[in-house]
Amino acid sequence: MELRRYFAIVQRSWWLVLGVPLLVLLVSLLSFQPDPQRYRANAKFAITHAPVGGNEVLPDMNIYNSWQSTQFIVDDLPGVVRSEAFAQAVSTWIASNRNLQLDAGAVKGMITAVEQEHRIATILVDADTADQATAIAAGSIAVLDEQGLQWWNRAQWGTLAVETLELPTTATALSRWPQPITRLALRLVLALVAGFGLAFLRHYLDRTVREPSDLAQLNVPVLSAIPKES
């Protein structure tokens, strides 16, 4: 089928091609509700495995081994911080130190990411309120500092040295618009595709003879043609 014929099919059913997206747009606008306000807090810290000592002959080996083991700790950090057990510990810390009641499931869902750069880590927290965001960020660092290598089941091998670099006292309000706009754009694209699909389906089900080629497909000879008046 030639491109010109495709265009003719779309032109005959233009009301379907445009009507479906317009209907979706109208329904989306009438049922629109903005996303609830969310707040973000970032906690940045440096983490190392403190030297365990005990090697007076080669003291430099203690430092070397601590840097080596630190790399493994940092690699595992995202999995530890996003775990249910860690969230439970943070929930307990928040209840004791910030007087906020958040269950472990809520805490786990609010810790959205752990970014790493060598031995520097940043915990990103997205919460329903600014107090929740800052409390979870502070609690995450405190739990790592207090419980250390217990999360790796290596408490007997020393402690973690956690140095806080940035601890937010306030949280930033996140924009509520990008996600609703993205969802609306996706709906409109899908509606436009559906409109084109309905237009071609209508053409397929239409038995009207519109061009000589339609008769040729039926093996019916064309005897004459009456020009369409302009």
pLDDT digits (tens, 9 = 90+) for 39-87: 999 999 988 877 655 545 445 555 666 777 778 888 888 899 999 999 9
Tens-place pLDDT, residues 19-46 = 999 999 999 888 888 778 889 999 999 8
Across 179-193, average pLDDT? 88
**Mean pLDDT within 80-108:** 93
Given this model, what pLDDT does residue 61 score?
53
Q: In this predicted structure, what is the pLDDT of residue 158?
A: 74
Predicted pLDDT at 57: 47
- Top mean-pLDDT range of 60-69, 184-193, 220-229: 184-193
pLDDT at 227: 73
Report the percent of the chain where pLDDT is more than 70: 85
Mean per-residue pLDDT, 124-139: 93
Q: How many CB atoms lie within 10 A of CB 119?
A: 18
Q: What is the 3-state secondary structure (H, E, C) of the chain?
A: CCHHHHHHHHHHCHHHHHHHHHHHHHHHHHCCCCCCCCEEEEEEEEEEECCCCCCCCCHHHHHHHHHHHHHHHHHHHHHHHCCHHHHHHHHHHHHHHCCCCCCHHHHHHHEEEEEEECCEEEEEEEECCHHHHHHHHHHHHHHHHHHHHHHHCCHHHCCEEEEEEECCCCCEECCCCHHHHHHHHHHHHHHHHHHHHHHHHHHHHCCCCCCHHHHHHCCCCCCCCCCCCC
Whether 5 shows a pLDDT value over 70: the answer reads yes
- Residues 77, 152: Cα–Cα separation, whole Å: 10
Q: What is the pLDDT of residue 34?
A: 75
- The average confidence (pLDDT) of the chain is 83
Q: Which CATH number fits domain 39-173: 3.30.70, 3.40.30, 3.10.20, 3.30.1890?
A: 3.30.1890
* Model-wide pTM > 0.85: no
Domain boundaries, the chain: 3-33+177-213, 39-173
> Is residue 188 over pLDDT 50?
yes
